[in-house]
Amino acid sequence: GLYYSYDTCGNDTSSSWDSIETDVALEGTVVRAGIPYQLFPDHYQVDSDGNVIEGPTTNNTAGYKGLYIDLFEEAADRAGFTIQWDYVSQASRDSTTSTWSACVADVSKGLLDICVGNFWTTPDRLAISAFTTTLDIDKFHMLAPRALKEPSLLTYILQPFEPFTPGAWICVVLVVIYVSIIKSKVIVDSDNIQEHHQSERGHKVGMPGVFQIEMYECLIEFFAQGVEHCPSDRLAPRLLSLGYAVFILFTIACYAGNLTAILTTSKFEPKGYSSFQDCIDKKMQYL
């Protein structure tokens, strides 16, 4: 084969790209070569009138022409080996999905030494044979329909709850209940705050009533995104209020961020195409 010597990386002089080193390991040998398909101008034959012959290869392997044929013959001339053109076996044609894969299969079986042509290096082919350095890249654009999501009324109703999972919502509710219970206990044990509740409502408030009031106030604080100033001068109630305030801060921040992401998500969703082969099987168009 041919090896191109790039003497120094980054050297932009044109002469740095001109040197060629020939590997003569195959000198004097016969290399069995095949082509997968007759395709102008890559590899083809011509008839007696000079007309290009395209299509599946036959047992007639004489007179191949084309870009890749010229390249391989030049390599053979420089390296000193002889080309023996051969055809792709019928057994490999029958066991594969294309003549291109059949040619690669013959190389893996030892029936051919090399396949000459512009092959796609697919995973299946790479698994059974080595390929030379890539010469060109084909770009494809798959045309696949996109389904527009039409949310139902129930979807719109439940959308405000989507930022959190059911488990997260349960945790939020449990924290609010827990804080309400603790604050109720603190109020019952505090004469000053207990008297405050009595003066506002005109009657004595017991533990169930205090819990109901504190549950309501905790919910209001949560939805209002703020905690009422703790009138107690003791450390425990103040730490409780501070911790609850931090909980509200992080919960609302996470909720707002997730809700924004949900509301800005495209209404389009894929129709279940997971691979290129899946698109081919479902007869998608590609350019």
Closest CA to 102 of 81, 129, 79: 129
Amino acid at 254: C
Q: Which residues pair with 33 in a beta bridge?
A: 85, 114
Q: What is the pTM of this model?
A: 0.47
- β-pairing verdict for 114-115 and 30-34: parallel
Q: Which residues pair with 38 in a beta bridge?
A: 55
Q: How many angstroms separate the CA atoms of 280 and 271, rounded?
A: 14
| Start-end of H helices in the chain | 67-79, 90-95, 99-109, 123-126, 153-158, 166-188, 191-201, 207-224, 235-263, 276-281
Using CA atoms, how far residue 154 sits from 15, 56, 149, 159, 261, in Å, is 71, 59, 14, 8, 20
pLDDT tens digits, one per residue of 13-56: 555 556 667 777 888 999 999 999 998 998 899 988 889 988 88
Q: What backbone phi and psi angles, to 5 degrees, belong to 226?
A: -165, 155
Q: How many angstroms separate the CA atoms of 254 and 94, rounded?
A: 59
Q: How many angstroms separate the CA atoms of 267 and 150, rounded?
A: 8
Q: Please state, for a pLDDT cut of 90, what percent of the chain lies above it.
A: 24
Q: How many angstroms separate the CA atoms of 237 and 243, rounded?
A: 10
Is the Cβ–Cβ distance between 24 and 1 less than 8 Å?
no
Q: Is 47 exposed, middle or buried (0-12, 13-18, 19+ CB in 10 A)?
A: exposed
Give me the pLDDT at residue 199, please: 46
Give me the pLDDT at residue 189, please: 57
pLDDT tens digits, one per residue of 149-174: 666 778 778 888 888 888 999 999 99
Q: How many angstroms separate the CA atoms of 133 and 114, rounded?
A: 14
List the chain pLDDT tens, one digit each, 287 residues: 555 555 555 555 555 556 667 777 888 999 999 999 998 998 899 988 889 988 888 888 888 999 999 999 999 998 999 999 998 999 999 999 899 999 999 999 999 999 999 898 888 899 999 998 888 888 877 676 665 666 677 877 888 888 888 899 999 999 888 888 887 777 555 554 555 455 455 455 566 777 777 788 888 888 887 777 666 667 777 787 888 888 888 998 898 888 888 777 655 555 566 677 777 777 776 65
Q: Dig out the tokens for 95 from the structure.
A: 């066991």
Q: Which domains does the chain have, with CATH numbers?
A: 2-138 (3.40.190.10), 153-263 (no CATH)
